[in-house]
Every structure is written in C-alpha cells, then in structure tokens.
Amino acid sequence: MKLESIEEYLQALNPDEIFYRQYYLAKRHEKEYATYIQSLNPEFIRQNNLIVPEIAYSFQPEQFGDESFFCIDSPQCIFLKKHDRYTPEFLHSHIFFEVIYVLKGTCRQSIQGQQVFMETGDVCLLSPGVKHTIACFDDDSLIINILIRRSTFKEVFFSFLRNDNILSSFFLTSLYTKHICEYIVFHTGYDLEIKRNLLEMYIEQLENKRYSERILNNMLMIYFAKILRGYEHNIILPAAVNKENIRGLAFIYYMKQHYKDITLEDMAREFHFTAPYTSAYIKKVTGYTYTQILQKLRLEHAESLLKNTNVSISRISEEIGYLNPEHFIRLFKRSYGISPNCFRQKWGNCQEDLLSAVSLTPK
C-alpha cells in the first residue's frame, strides 16, 4: 500500500465503528434509545466483542493483557491499531505501554481522573497499569495507537534506555521504579515528517513482509528520536509527577552502564554521597533497594544472552558480574521459574516454531 492511500484506508469507517456510531446516535435520543437497545442481538454483541454496557455479559474489559493483541510465544514487540471512533468510554488499563497519536482531529482522555485534551499531532505515552478512558465521537478524527510490550521492551530497546532524555526517563520509571510517571504528551502539531513516519510504520505492519518485526522496531526508535529532536521541551507531564523521582533515575543510568562490576561504594563516590545515603536515596525514589535493581539489570542481560547467543552458562554468569555460576543459576530460577538452560531451550523451540510458520505462509 502506498503512503498516499493509507490515510484514505484508515479514514473509512470499519464495521465496529459503524455499529458504535449507530449506538452513539441512538443514545442521544432518549425516546429512541430504549427501542434501539431492545433491537440489538445480544449474541452478536458478545461474539464480536462489542462494548455495550446495557447488554449483560458483553465485552467490558478492565485490563488488556498481551494476549489481546500479541502472539504470546512471538518476539513481536509492537502492534499498531486504529482507535475505533464512537467507542463508548470505558475505564481500563493495559500491561503494555501505549502510544496514542492524533493523526487528525481531536480526542479527550481521562487519565487517572485527570482530563487530557488532545489535537492533531499530539503524542501521548501511557505507562502500564494506568487507568484511563478515551473519547472520540466524530467521523473526521483519526487516532492511531502503538502498543509496546513491556515484557520485551527492555531487550529490544536497551540501547535507547541508556540515553539521558525525557522519553528514556519515562520508560525507566515504569520499568525500574514503583513511582511511575503515568503519562507524557508531546505537541508535534502539523509536523508532516512525524505523520509520515507513523503512516509508514502502519504500512509496514499491514504488508508484514520478511523481517517486518525488526524493521518496525527500528522505525519506532527513529519515530521517538525525531519527536525528541523537535519537541523534547514542548511536553505535558502529570501535575503530581515528582521531579525528584526523575532526577533519581541518574542512579539507574549509571547502574545500567556499570552493572557488571559496580559496587554501592563506587556509585556513592561517583555522586559524592556516602554509601548509606545513596542506598536510602535509591530506595526512596524507586521503591526498590540497590541490590534488587542491580539483580534485575543483570538478569535482564542474562536473558538477552540466553536468547541470542550460544555462550555457556558459566560465561554468562561471569559476563553479568556473578563469579559463582551456581549463585547465578539460583537467582535466575527464583526470578524466572526455570533454570537458564531450560529457558534457552524453551526460547529456541519457540523460535523454531515461528520460523516454520513463516516458511509455510503463502507468498
């Protein structure tokens, strides 16, 4: 599909949007509304996962998991979808990150009870677990969602997280602290380059050619980089965001760069604090202890090595800073529920199944 036709494709109302528009218009006329609800087929509503609060046992999710949009055993990290216009507002959260981009028009969100109004070019990032609603009730507006798996984000975008900017700070607070930044909004206005980047990602997903997942991951990195380059200082943060928590991320940046051989005393000297104060400050701004964060960083790197290399378990243990392989194996099993060898074998089997499925897909 060509760039000039993708917006026309997205602008057309899909069957769900047509249904929701009828529902929305009927609800505005009290006399006709009861008759309209009685005319609906409850079985049709349930089978098509349509959100109609008046229909008993209809689709009314409170939280969306990865299984709603991603293949669980797939390494797929991102998924793009159009927000269905006229969808009734309903309070929900997700276990993944969500990017909401207003391609054209307007929409309104309620994020943890705070009203956020968005217009053309606005980009909103939502943290996992944040409760929100979204309202878009006209034919002309177009809202595109980018869903980013939390479970694979750290591995795929590890290099991005090592940069000191507002976006990496946003992701790091969700990944490594208990004091999350609920959302962040960038105002990009009528930036045609940002718009084109988003539409090209949508086309890449629709065409689903070989290496599409890797290409999409890199396209998203470029999309974020261009937003930062042009609009890093044109943002909205929640009124309650604690700037001290964001400043505290400097400790996590440092730990990510030196996790192999770092000590609490080394980090304290780097930031000109005492070791006890550094330890207490980390716990205060992240909700986790120094040891918990360090272990999390090391095991994440071990996970990546197990998935992508044939390096021995003892070498991986040494690579991430554990001189005793048995200690590493115990920690890994405690966190992942299986040993490093079993994890590697299970991941290899998943990849073989995925490759077989791709090879059997008709061209």
What string of pLDDT tens digits covers the 363 residues of the chain? Answer: 788 899 999 999 999 999 999 999 999 988 889 899 999 999 999 999 999 988 887 788 888 988 888 877 777 889 999 999 999 999 999 999 999 999 999 999 999 888 999 999 999 999 999 999 999 999 999 999 999 988 777 777 766 776 777 788 788 878 877 777 789 999 999 999 999 999 999 999 999 999 998 999 999 999 999 999 999 888 877 755 555 555 567 788 788 888 889 999 998 888 888 999 999 988 887 888 999 999 998 998 898 889 888 899 999 999 999 999 999 999 999 999 999 999 888 877 655 544 444 444 443
Compute the distance between CA of residue 257 and CA of residue 229 in angstroms, rounded to an integer: 23
Q: 3-class SS at 104?
A: strand
With left for phi above 0 and alpha for psi between -120 and 50, is residue 211 left, alpha or beta? left
pTM of the model: 0.77
Alpha-carbon torsion 281, 285, 287, 292, what sign? negative
What is residue 10's predicted lDDT score, i.e. its pLDDT? 95
Q: Name the DSSP letter for residue 63.
A: E
What are the φ/ψ torsions at residue 243 (nearest 5 degrees)? Answer: -60, -30
Topology, domain 248-351: Arc Repressor Mutant, subunit A (1.10.10)
Domain definitions of the chain by residue range = 63-236, 248-351
Q: Are 292 and 251 in contact (CB under 8 A)?
A: no
Compute the distance between CA of residue 86 and CA of residue 22 in angstroms, rounded to an integer: 9
Q: 3-class SS at 37?
A: helix
What is residue 351's predicted lDDT score, i.e. its pLDDT? 53
What is residue 139's predicted lDDT score, i.e. its pLDDT? 96
Q: Are 273 and 153 in contact (CB under 8 A)?
A: no
What is residue 248's predicted lDDT score, i.e. its pLDDT? 67
Question: Which class would CATH give 63-236?
Answer: mainly beta
What is residue 148's predicted lDDT score, i.e. its pLDDT? 93
What is residue 308's predicted lDDT score, i.e. its pLDDT? 83
Q: 3-class SS at 61?
A: coil
User: Which CA distances in Å does 125 have to 51, 97, 182, 342?
Assistant: 24, 7, 8, 35
**Interval 237-268: pLDDT, tens:** 775 555 555 556 778 878 888 888 999 999 88
